[in-house]
Structure 1
Amino acid sequence: MADGGVTVVAAVIAAGAAVTVAYASNFVAEQYRRHLDSTGWASAIAGELRSHAEAFPLLKALFADLLQRAEKKEPLPLYPIPMPTDPVFDSDPGKVGLLGAQFAGEVAFAYESLRAFRGAFFVVIEHHKGMDPEQLTGRLRRLSGMIHDNEARLWSLINGLNAYSDLGFSKSRFVDSWMHRLHFRQRVRSRREQ
């Protein structure tokens, strides 16, 4: 009977260990999938934002030209165009949370700044012929200022997102969090032993 009891206890321990390992493996696998989602999303957002940022030199030149024309009271070569979209961000804006609090806030700021710029520019495109010269030049200056004020911040975000997307799983927030916990426990144990 004693051998049978030991066998049952060993079987229960083995089953418990197997369930624990399966649970832990599933948990780590889910964290790995989230890491892949977040780094993939960061790379895609960085690419989309880079496509906007690389157009800034052209936009600066355009607004310099438009301002010169407006100040000389010359007609502006502006024609109605469809509102641009952001297919990556617009496909699932809820994924911005995968990037963590700091990046999520900066990405939201970047896209809202782009929307504000587009909205203001579309007012100029649609109504520039009916605006008085001071109003038109003021709007063009503010639009040009939006580009100048946000260019460095946008490039900084793009570079940060690219760096984040290059992180391996071993450098992820999940692994980093567990490593800090383990180091903390080791420090507590070593202090207790002293």
Structure 2
Amino acid sequence: MDEVHKARLLEVLKRNQLQLEGFLTDPRRDEKDLHYTIAGQLRVLLCDADVPVLLRYAAESNVALKVWAAYPAGFKYRTDKAIFSFNALIASYYPEYDAYEMSIEDFLDTEIGAVPKVDKISNIVSGTIAYTPRKLIKWISNKDGVTHLELSPMQSLETIKFAIEVEGNVDGFTQTDSLLIRSAIIQIGEWTNEAIKGLLTTIQNS
């Protein structure tokens, strides 16, 4: 990659980091449902089919980005059984006790959770919907009105959304929290924010 294109990547990376940190630390983050906005940024930074900005810049800079997660790289659930699985640890930039270290590329395609697949009409459970970080980020961004909207809701995403609902009251507004999605996107966002800052520091000191 030539220096002009690399400089453009850096410009976009820095801009997204400042915005991402602002969204993550916003005291009204949950009330504003900013995990949707964060998912859109993660799509650009981690999951874009052509130029995932963070991954591309790290590769061009010869810096390996590592994640600590609850399951080993490449982990997959059995989809022929009804499984509900949720872990408090989704992604950490820093080493965690009893967690698995892997590359960010491997992490994006490692399953991090699963919910029973329920038929809307019969209400019969028939297997499992498992999801990876990449699937979750792209589903939210492309199906749920972040970068694109499908008028007919994606059933897999809706099932994950409502697997755990936490209802509360924030400043007079009744809030329903899609816990599995919100917690995953926020933690991946926090990892991404730290990874960008760490990458820029490494490059500056090299």
TM-score, normalised on structure 2?
0.35
Going by fraction, where is strand more abundant, 1 or 2?
2
Q: Which has the higher contact order (CA 8 A, sep 6+)?
A: 1
TM-score, normalised on structure 1?
0.37
| Structure whose CA Rg is larger | 1
Going by fraction, where is helix more abundant, 1 or 2?
1
